[in-house]
Amino acid sequence: MQHDRRHRRAVAAGAGLFAIIAGLLAVSVLTQPGPASTTTTAPAGTTTTAAVVPGGELLAFETMGLDGSPIVIAPVPTGETVVVVASPDGSVEAMATTGGPWEHLPSPVEEGAVVAAGATVPDAVVLHGHDASGATAIWLSRDGRSWQKAVVDPSGRRSVVGVAGGGALIFSWGLEDGWRLLDAALVERMGPAGRRYQLFSQGDGPAEVLAQSPLGLPIGRFTLDELGVDPADLETGVQWAMASRDGVEWTEAALPDDRFPSSPFAGDDGRVYDIDVEGLLLSTGDGLTWVEEAVIGAPGIVIQPWRGWLSHGPDPILWASRDASAWREIDLGPLFAEPELWKLGGVAAGDAGLAVVAMQQSAIGEPRPATVEARYGQHLVRVTDAAVEVAAPGGETLVSIPRTAVAPDPRVSFDPAAQEVTIGDDAGTPLITLSIEELGRLEDEHEDAAMGAAPEIASALLTSPDGCAWTTQELGVGPGRTIHDVRIVGARVFLVIGGTFRLDRTELWWADLPAGGGA
């Protein structure tokens, strides 16, 4: 058994995670580092190749680099669009725009809090995670500037999985287990470096925890008993649900059919709706009682509300219906030169229309071997896919530490107070000392090099105000990068671009959608 906890943040659900890497699009680039004082250059011309059939007025994107990943992209009642970004160091940043320059906002959470994800509910945005004391918490804001925190579990054993809202009802659900206790015990012993570890067992032996630095160097090994954690608490989590009318006071609630919601959304009647994998539509007005409304016999795998209902699967076909009984097929195949090569990555729906991300399946590639070198004093540190090597000035390897070790290595030592790792030779002589931060930088550089060597994957964006007339364009996000999220907020489409396997540094792309369509 092996369990890997790297504490890498994920984009909030909504459009889902995509596996798309890029074609060709020139975009305007923000020339200042922060959104509060940003200027943009005029958008460059966009080239459409034979991969997609030209159609419509191409969107002119602006972009912004982020130290982290957006967990909320949402409208608020003030008329602004609020974006909340979670960074790998645990900090959370918020910004807002009414269509012009971005404005930095105060951090939504206190220092030391760990935000896992965010969600959008009617007239508000929600964050969830654990506060600085380790308690399970939910933060709510109606303007992105002032936030109310509700502690829903002082022990911190509960972890929020998702939040949905309808009218005045806010519904949350999650798991209760001992993982947070294990996380806290490791951080207490190891400092911030304790957030990354593997849990494993060998044969019939007890489960043990191997703490790892960036690059996978072993820096500590403990039994669960040493950490004060009961193994039974890590095996099966208990599902829970809670409901609130204001985001501050929360009471116990009920899950639909004793399962987590699959695709929850707010209904026009103020209720929270959910569709299970078999198309059963349920709703609740109080979070306690779920009512079976109908069976949605959609042709596709994914079902979502949009001027009635919208459904899709992996192939470039959408289906639309006003009443979930008769479905109209929207064939996107003719928009591609070779439709059999393309698969849908995600579909965003809003009042302004539809935004569809697709990837050219035949172009998918794997990361290639990569090596990164950095000199520290007289020694050279060489990072490969399999090892961290320390070399002499002439380049000959003095020591090689595997990056996949499942046991402590006597050549590696860790200072929790200084957050530093020392690597020595086989005789025990120290060779080099690197901070956790520096090891993280080397890990980032190696991952960038590995993904930068990967082939580009053609991706395309299709937008329509009504599901009939479409704008088609290829997107150039670069080698080793992918589109992680697509959202429609008001009259704009937003894309989150980042590395295929990482979200610590991303780009936010946005463009105005053409007017037209209508319900």
For the cut 90, the answer to whether the pLDDT of residue 180 exceeds it is no
- What does the alpha-carbon distance between residue 468 and residue 466 come to, in Å, rounded to a whole number? 5
Residue with the bigger pLDDT between 402 and 235: it is 402
Give the CA diameter of the chain. Answer: 75
- What does the alpha-carbon distance between residue 373 and residue 391 come to, in Å, rounded to a whole number? 10
pLDDT of residue 34: 36
Contact (Cβ atoms closer than 8 angstroms) between residue 42 and residue 509: no
**Tokens 């060489």 belong to residue:** 382
For the cut 70, the answer to whether the pLDDT of residue 135 exceeds it is yes
For the cut 70, the answer to whether the pLDDT of residue 366 exceeds it is no
For the cut 70, the answer to whether the pLDDT of residue 517 exceeds it is no
pLDDT of residue 90: 67
pLDDT in tens, 283-331: 999 999 999 999 888 888 888 899 999 999 999 999 999 988 899 999 9
Q: Is 39 exposed, middle or buried (0-12, 13-18, 19+ CB in 10 A)?
A: exposed
Beta-carbon count within 10 A of 233 CB: 17
Dump strand ranges (E) for 177-249.
Answer: 197-200, 208-212, 218-223, 238-244
Which residue type occupies 148? Answer: Q
Report the pLDDT averaged over residues 83-107. Answer: 90
pLDDT of residue 167: 82
pLDDT of residue 367: 58
pLDDT of residue 84: 97
pLDDT in tens, 375-420: 999 999 999 999 999 999 888 999 999 998 888 999 999 999 999 9
Contact (Cβ atoms closer than 8 angstroms) between residue 40 and residue 28: yes
pLDDT of residue 238: 87
Which of 201-210, 337-346, 408-417 has the highest mean predicted lDDT (pLDDT)? 408-417
pLDDT of residue 97: 94
pLDDT of residue 165: 93
Q: Percentage of the chain with pLDDT > 90?
A: 59
Nearest by Cα to 114 from 77, 167, 159? 159
Radius of gyration of the chain (CA): 24
pLDDT of residue 385: 92
50 falls in which pLDDT band (50, 70, 90)? Answer: low
- What does the alpha-carbon distance between residue 352 and residue 484 come to, in Å, rounded to a whole number? 21
455 falls in which pLDDT band (50, 70, 90)? Answer: low
- What does the alpha-carbon distance between residue 75 and residue 143 come to, in Å, rounded to a whole number? 9
3-state secondary structure of 442: helix
pLDDT of residue 200: 84
pLDDT in tens, 208-232: 999 999 999 999 999 999 998 888 8
For the cut 60, the answer to whether the pLDDT of residue 267 exceeds it is yes
Beta-carbon count within 10 A of 78 CB: 13
For the cut 70, the answer to whether the pLDDT of residue 497 exceeds it is yes
Q: What is the pTM of this model?
A: 0.80
3-state secondary structure of 293: strand
Nearest by Cα to 25 from 357, 341, 491, 333? 357
pLDDT of residue 78: 92
Q: Return the ∠ at Cα 357 (arms to 352 and 361), rounded to 5°.
A: 165
3-state secondary structure of 223: strand
For the cut 70, the answer to whether the pLDDT of residue 38 exceeds it is no
pLDDT of residue 209: 93
pLDDT of residue 31: 25
For the cut 90, the answer to whether the pLDDT of residue 477 exceeds it is no
457 falls in which pLDDT band (50, 70, 90)? Answer: confident
For the chain, what is the mean pLDDT? 84
Asked whether the CA dihedral 227, 232, 235, 241 is positive or negative, the reply is negative
12 falls in which pLDDT band (50, 70, 90)? Answer: very low
Residue with the bigger pLDDT between 219 and 514: it is 219
Contact (Cβ atoms closer than 8 angstroms) between residue 221 and residue 227: no
Taking the domain 372-452, which CATH number applies?
2.30.29
pLDDT of residue 37: 27
Q: Percentage of the chain with pLDDT > 70?
A: 86
3-state secondary structure of 256: helix
Report the pLDDT averaged over residues 354-381. Answer: 82
For the cut 80, the answer to whether the pLDDT of residue 426 exceeds it is yes
pLDDT of residue 47: 38
Report the pLDDT averaged over residues 432-439. Answer: 96
Q: Map out the domains of the chain as residue ranges.
A: 16-66+343-365+454-519, 269-331, 372-452
